[in-house]
């Protein structure tokens, strides 16, 4: 019953927050106006700037910001106990993460769809634009280099998810063309796509497809990384309505419906329990509330500040400001849609993270395969099998969620194979939407940097995307740290820089808060609810990065085996942050009520943008 109360309580809190705090931000602070023409209409080009139905854009935005982040982070963080993870996810997403995403989206649409990096140069100081863009470029390079490996790893662990994921692409293109050219209603194609996608999950490993899946899963990691980066290039340069939008939308339908199944399964398991080898196993939390002192997990870093770096997506993630200001702001059809897209998507992601926590601390207890053939571990033994020590848990976090959530689906009477396949598709689809969106965002950042430094060859969308993909591919092609140059080890090079991403990503969130803060300060809007999250997200990640550099035997610069590559990047990241904060402190006293330099006059391209309601 405790697990049900947690899930229901979190859902109620999110609904209340959306209709109170979110509505207050939309109406009283940002003053969203349905009569204001957004960038999608002012700059409409049907490639990047495309007025988009609110529900389609919600699907694109939600799946893009979520990725595997709200799965991996919470699934790993429960090693410190379920209470700290749950509190950070619930209250972090309401008061920090959703405000961050919503604010970045609004600031961008009020600046013609510019990214937070571009806006920073105008509202803080001109130099901060280059510093901010440099951080964005580093973070997105890491994402592109690692997420191909993440997806390939899911495919290898769950081969039955491959065919369903591949079939999503032609379905998305067909729906995109249909909706764009015929202007048809969303209802029919949405239901058709959802039905086909669930059929592919059920039948996608039958007969010859099983052998096909197994063969694809046997391909070297490097081959999958190359395939996925080529796909990312194509998705990045195509008009958003052809693939990116419809794929993310139909993914969101499948993912949200899968979340619904998990919730229903959780309720059934909580009320009736689950049959495990002929015995009725009740649903209960089997993990400790907090693991500290003598019960602290072996090898785990300090819970403070590393909990707030480990759980990013689900509470707050700097990557989200890139999606808000990089793609979603260019597609928002109506200003008032920003509350649902910006604030609502983050709360939805927070609820996903809550379900991940419950799956890992309660769902696992319903039974997982043991070490011996045919054996099943239940209760606390199942939890400890996945969370005995930090090193093993960091590799098994996704599997813990898949197994725990699959147990909820089994409680509904769904076949075990279908339940595991659906959760595999769930994880792989989230990761794929992050990969293609990150590639498009990196294209924007590359073009902005190229324009600033007069590198004309990289201002073209094709050359900028090729540059981004090739750079990420070269990093990804290398073996993992310490591994030999063998074919089986290639494609894991993203792991070289991956330890940087947690702190760097969260620092990016703090810097995005600075941009939002200055934009509001210059307009004499209330900023009290922004100041505390901004300081929190600048100080904690910096502290975590400092500890990774200098504290302990495994420290990158002062440890027993120094890692000077990570150390150099870590020092550079801290230096960039310090420089931006210094610029902000210098500009703060003279910024209040002084508007930044206006953007140059715009020649409107879309006749519909001239007056009248835009939605």
User: pLDDT for 29-45, tens place per residue?
Assistant: 999 999 999 999 999 99
Higher pLDDT, residue 138 or 13: 13
506 versus 601: which is more confidently predicted? 506
Q: 15-19, 247-251, 469-473, 563-567: which has the minimum mean pLDDT?
A: 247-251
Tokens describing residue 438: 């990150």
Whole-number Å distance between alpha carbons of 353 and 75: 8
pLDDT tens track for 507-550: 999 999 999 999 999 999 999 999 999 999 999 999 999 999 99
Cα(442)–Cα(445) distance, integer angstroms: 5
Which of 177-186, 356-365, 452-461, 463-472 has the weakest average pLDDT? Answer: 177-186
Nearest to 347 by CA among 1, 57, 61: 61
Residue 614 has pLDDT above 60, yes or no: no
Pair 597, 122: CB distance under 8 Å? yes
The 10s digit of each residue's pLDDT in 59-85 is 889 988 987 788 889 999 999 999 999
Tokens 């769950």 -> residue: 158
- Cβ atoms of 570 and 556 within 8 Å: the answer is yes
For residue 416, report the phi and psi dihedrals to the nearest 5 degrees. Answer: -60, -40
Residue 76 structure tokens: 């790993």
Predicted local confidence at residue 612, as pLDDT: 47
| Pairing label, strands 368-369, 279-281 | unpaired
Residue 593: count other Cβ atoms within 10 Å of its Cβ: 9
> How confident is the prediction for the chain on average, in pLDDT?
89
Q: Which of 80-94, 318-332, 407-421, 574-588 has the lowest mean pLDDT?
A: 407-421
Q: What pLDDT is attached to residue 604?
A: 57
Nearest Cα to Cα of residue 176 among 50, 63, 67, 65: 50
Q: What percent of the chain shows pLDDT beyond 90?
A: 49
Peptide bond into 497 cis (omega under 30): no
The answer to whether 55 and 186 have CB atoms below 8 angstroms apart is yes
Answer for the pair 503, 576: CB distance below 8 angstroms, yes or no. no
Asked if residue 307 has pLDDT above 90, the reply is yes
Q: Cβ(382)–Cβ(364) under 8 Å?
A: yes
Task: Report the largest interatomic distance among the alpha carbons of the chain, rounded to a whole angstrom.
Answer: 73
Has residue 23 got a pLDDT over 90?
A: yes
Q: What is the arithmetic mean of pLDDT over 279-296?
A: 84
- Which pLDDT score is estimated for 611? 46
The whole-angstrom separation of Cα 366 and Cα 408 is 9
Closest to 49 (Cα-Cα) out of 239, 319, 323, 321 = 239
Q: Please give the structure tokens belonging to residue 429.
A: 């689809």
Q: What are the sequence ranges of the domains in the chain?
A: 2-45+67-597
- Which residues make beta-bridge pairs with 298? 389
Q: What is the DSSP string of 279-326?
A: EEEPP---S-S---GGGSPBTPPPHHHHHHHH--TTT--THHHHHHHH
Quickly tell me which residue has 């610069």 as its tokens. 557
Q: Which two tokens stand for residue 413?
A: 């009477």
Residue 466, SS3? helix
Q: Where are the beta strands (DSSP E) in 229-293?
A: 274-276, 279-281
Provide the pLDDT confidence category of residue 188 given band limits of 50, 70 and 90. Answer: confident
- For residue 480, is pLDDT > 90? no
Contacts of 47 (CB under 8 A, 6+ apart): 239, 240
pLDDT confidence of residue 605 = 55
Integer Cα distance of 258 and 296 in angstroms: 34
The alpha carbons of the chain give a radius of gyration, in whole angstroms, of 23
Q: How confident is the model at residue 610 (pLDDT cuts 50, 70, 90)?
A: very low
- What the block records as the tokens of 507 is 């620092």
Q: Which of 601, 506, 585, 444 shows the shortest CA–CA distance to 116? A: 444
CA angle 567, 573, 576 (to 5 degrees): 140
Which 8-state DSSP code applies to residue 389? B
Q: How far apart are CA 613 and CA 615, in angstroms?
A: 6
SS3 136: helix
Whether residue 166 contacts residue 236, with contact meaning beta carbons closer than 8 Å, is answered with no
What is the structure's pLDDT at 430?
Answer: 78
Which of residues 190 and 123 earns the better pLDDT score? 123
Q: Give the containing element (helix H, strand E) for 576.
A: helix 564-587
Name which of 305, 342, 343, 306 is nearest 327 in CA terms.
342
- Residue 376: beta bridge partners? 369
Q: What is the pLDDT of residue 484?
A: 86
Q: Which residue has the tokens 């969260």?
A: 506
Dig out the tokens for 137 from the structure. Answer: 């470029």
Q: In 3D, which of 476, 433, 502 has the Cα closest to residue 139?
A: 502
Q: Is the model's pLDDT at 273 over the cut of 80? A: no
Query: What is the C-alpha to C-alpha distance for residues 155 and 158, in angstroms, rounded to an integer?
Result: 5
Distance CA 243, CA 473 (A): 22
In contact, 311 and 353? CB cutoff 8 Å: yes
CB 337 within 8 A of CB 455: no
Interval 318-345 mean pLDDT:
94
347 with 18: CB under 8 angstroms?
A: yes
CA distance 91 to 95: 6
The predicted model gives 178-201 an average pLDDT of: 79
pTM, full prediction: 0.90
599 CB-contact burial (10 Å; exposed 0-12 / middle 13-18 / buried 19+):
exposed
- Please check the confidence at residue 187 and state whether its pLDDT lies above 80: no
- Give the Å distances, CA to CA, from 484 to 14, 215, 224, 344, 471: 48, 24, 19, 46, 21
**pLDDT surpassing 80 at residue 375:** no
């Amino acid at each position: 019953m405790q697990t049900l109360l947690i899930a229901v309580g979190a859902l109620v809190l999110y609904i209340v927050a959306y209709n109170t705090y979110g509505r207050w931000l939309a109406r009283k602070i940002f003053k969203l106006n349905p009569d204001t023409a957004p960038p999608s209409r002012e700059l409409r080009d049907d490639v990047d700037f495309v007025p988009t139905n609110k529900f389609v854009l919600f699907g694109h935005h939600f799946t893009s910001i979520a990725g595997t982040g709200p799965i991996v982070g919470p699934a790993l963080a429960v090693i410190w106990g379920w209470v700290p993870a749950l509190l950070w996810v619930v209250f972090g997403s309401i008061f920090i993460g959703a405000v961050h995403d919503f604010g970045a989206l609004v600031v961008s649409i009020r600046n013609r769809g510019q990214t937070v990096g571009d806006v920073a140069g105008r509202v803080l100081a001109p130099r901060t634009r280059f510093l901010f863009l440099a951080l964005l470029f580093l973070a997105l390079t890491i994402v592109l280099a690692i997420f191909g490996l993440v997806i390939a790893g899911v495919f290898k662990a769950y081969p039955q998810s491959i065919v369903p994921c591949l079939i999503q692409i032609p379905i998305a293109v067909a729906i995109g063309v249909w909706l764009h050219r015929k202007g048809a209603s969303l209802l029919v194609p949405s239901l058709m796509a959802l039905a086909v996608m669930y059929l592919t999950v059920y039948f996608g490993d039958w007969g010859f497809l099983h052998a096909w899946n197994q063969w694809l899963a046997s391909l070297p990691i490097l081959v999958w990384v190359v395939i996925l980066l080529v796909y990312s290039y194509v998705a990045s340069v195509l008009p958003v309505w052809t693939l990116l939008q419809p794929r993310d939308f139909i993914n969101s339908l499948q993912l949200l419906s899968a979340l619904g199944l998990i919730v229903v399964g959780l309720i059934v398991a909580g009320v009736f329990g689950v049959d495990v080898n002929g015995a009725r196993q009740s649903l209960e939390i089997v993990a400790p509330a907090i693991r500290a002192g003598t019960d602290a997990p072996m090898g785990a870093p300090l819970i403070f500040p590393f909990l707030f770096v480990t759980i990013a997506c689900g509470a707050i993630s700097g990557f989200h400001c890139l999606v808000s200001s990089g793609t979603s702001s260019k597609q928002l059809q109506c200003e008032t849609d920003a509350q649902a897209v910006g604030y609502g998507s983050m709360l939805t992601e927070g609820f996903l993270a809550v379900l991940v926590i419950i799956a890992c601390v309660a769902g696992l207890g319903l039974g997982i395969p043991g070490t011996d053939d045919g054996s099943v571990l239940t209760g606390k033994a199942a939890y400890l099998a996945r969370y005995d020590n930090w090193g093993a848990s960091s590799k098994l976090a996704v599997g813990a969620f898949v197994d725990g959530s699959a147990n909820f689906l089994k409680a509904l009477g769904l076949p075990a194979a279908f339940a595991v396949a659906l959760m595999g598709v769930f994880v792989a689809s989230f990761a794929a939407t992050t990969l293609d969106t990150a590639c498009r965002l990196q294209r924007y950042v590359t073009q902005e940097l190229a324009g600033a430094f007069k590198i004309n060859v990289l201002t073209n969308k094709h050359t900028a995307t090729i540059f981004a993909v090739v750079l990420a591919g070269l990093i990804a092609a290398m073996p993992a740290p310490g591994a030999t140059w063998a074919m089986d080890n290639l494609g894991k090079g993203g792991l070289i820089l991956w330890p940087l991403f947690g702190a760097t990503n969260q620092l990016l969130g703090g810097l995005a808060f600075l941009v939002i803060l200055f934009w509001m300060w210059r307009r004499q809007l209330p900023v009290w609810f922004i100041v505390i999250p901004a300081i929190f997200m600048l100080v904690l990640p910096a502290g975590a990065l400092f500890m990774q550099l200098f504290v302990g035997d495994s420290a990158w610069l002062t440890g027993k085996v120094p890692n000077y590559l990570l150390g150099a990047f870590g020092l550079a990241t801290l230096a960039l942050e310090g420089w931006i904060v210094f610029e902000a402190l210098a500009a703060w006293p003279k910024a209040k009520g002084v508007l930044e330099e206006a953007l140059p006059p715009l020649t409107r391209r879309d006749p519909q943008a001239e007056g009248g309601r835009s939605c």
